[in-house]
Amino acid sequence: MTHRIAIIAGDGIGTEVMPEGLRALDAAAKRFDIDLEYRHFDFGNCDYYLEHGQMLPDDWFDQLKDFDAIFYGAVGWPEKVPDHISLWGSLLQFRRQFDQYINLRPCKLLPGIKSPLADRQPGDIDFYVVRENTEGEYSSIGGRMFEGSEREVVIQETVMTRTGIDRVLKYAFDLAQSRPRKKLTSATKSNGISITMPYWDERVKEMAKRYPEIDVDQFHIDILTANFVMHPDWFDVVVASNLFGDILSDLGPACTGTIGVAPSANINPDGTFPSLFEPVHGSAPDIAGKGIANPIGQIWSGAMMLEHLGYQEAGKAIVDAFEAVLAEGDAKILTPDIRGQGTTESLGKAIAERVAG
């Protein structure tokens, strides 16, 4: 069976880590006899915008909708295109139009990487952030009035729907149920944001009734961020709204030493549309062009894609491969964010060789 994968490298280091993501995927495909067919698209990046005045062609939905998955690098280059235009014109459209309502972001302290938190070892930090991915604070409802005058007002509404909350909670509770610790933490801010956030809490309590085995914690986001740093070992599955999930999924990986390793799966669980796999990080203009970006976020996202396509063993082989390379700790191979002197390519090649077996 052939799996058709749409490849969109994007901007900046997206174009540098993508070849390493593909190198690992190719090695896994060969070893496990998986038939992956790639199609590269040149849209969804800021140069495309400069040429066409938009991030995507008009028929992007039809061009992409029948792929089995989308493998994305990173998008955004604020010097060329304002971020809200490039991101709303590409990635956020994919998430919404393809109803990828789960953004699953593992956060794990990997062997050989030093946490900035004192004395933390692999095993101490190992949780998932399950981020609501299509509504919440990322809404296009709002506007700007009296522009340019002293009376200027800007409004952007948060939208939470019962269906939208319940489906992400269900996913998170199911995930917690499948894990040994069976623990779920929900992040809100219901003391200050007095309509939407208490509603989310209410839905958590309702959903919890269906999962009597799950140990449920609810935190306000402010103290939760403190607890990520003070007690990262408390967490197993953390579920949050779109914005809070975004913030937690940079903070979590920072606690594991670098955001360069963090992967994500933007999932349409119903399978009506393709799911999208991309690293958590962005295009990193500060290091782009130097060939030193850590490719593990992209490679791990590829492993999540294989698992999503049903190839658990192949996905695990990729994770085992980068964990082994990290554990060996050869500084000549590792990228500078994890205290190495190597390059994107040296780390990517070492991992792919290990995947090949």
Question: Using CB under 6 A as the criterion, which residues of the chain lie in contact with ligand IPM when the complex forms?
Answer: 76, 87, 92, 246, 280, 282
Stretch that binds ligand NAD, among 118-126, 179-187, 211-219, 293-301 (CB under 6 A): 293-301
Closest CA to 200 of 210, 189, 215: 189
Q: Which amino acid is at 27?
A: A
Choose, by CB under 5 A, the member of 11, 246, 323, 337 that binds Mn ion.
246
Active-site residues: which are they? Answer: 138, 189, 222, 246, 250
Task: Write down the least CB distance from residue 230 to Mn ion, Å.
Answer: 22
Whether the Cβ atoms of residue 285 and residue 297 lie closer than 8 Å to each other: no
Site for ligand NAD in 219-248 (CB under 6 A): none
User: How far is the CA of 265 from the CAs of 4, 9, 304, in angstroms?
Assistant: 17, 16, 7
Residue 193 or 251 having the CB closest to ligand IPM:
251
Site for ligand NAD in 262-281 (CB under 6 A): 278, 281
Closest CA to 79 of 260, 286, 281: 286
Choose, by CB under 6 A, the member of 21, 76, 89, 315 that binds ligand NAD.
76
What is the size of the binding site for ligand NAD (CB under 6 A)? Answer: 23
Whether the Cβ atoms of residue 239 and residue 247 lie closer than 8 Å to each other: no
Q: Is 152 exposed, middle or buried (0-12, 13-18, 19+ CB in 10 A)?
A: exposed
Residue 76 or 112 having the CB closest to ligand NAD:
76
Closest CA to 74 of 252, 218, 259: 259
Residue 223 or 229 having the CB closest to ligand NAD:
229
| 79 binds ligand NAD, rule: CB under 6 A | no
Q: Which two tokens stand for residue 214?
A: 């799950």
Stretch that binds ligand NAD, among 98-106, 142-150, 151-159, 292-300 (CB under 6 A): 292-300
User: Mask 244-263, x = binds ligand NAD (CB under 6 A)?
Assistant: ---------------xx---
Residue 252 or 340 having the CB closest to ligand IPM:
252
Stretch that binds ligand NAD, among 71-79, 148-156, 214-222, 267-275 (CB under 6 A): 71-79
- Is the four-CA dihedral 301, 305, 306, 311 of positive or negative sign? positive
Closest CA to 255 of 135, 103, 126, 82: 126
Task: Write down the least CB distance from residue 259 to Mn ion, Å.
Answer: 9
User: How far is the CA of 191 from the CAs of 100, 197, 220, 221, 223, in angstroms?
Assistant: 29, 8, 8, 10, 12
* Residue 286 interacts with, from ligand IPM, ligand NAD, Mn ion, none (CB under 5-8 Å by kind): ligand NAD
Q: Which two tokens stand for residue 186?
A: 């929900």
Q: Footprint of Mn ion on this chain (CB under 5 A)? A: 246
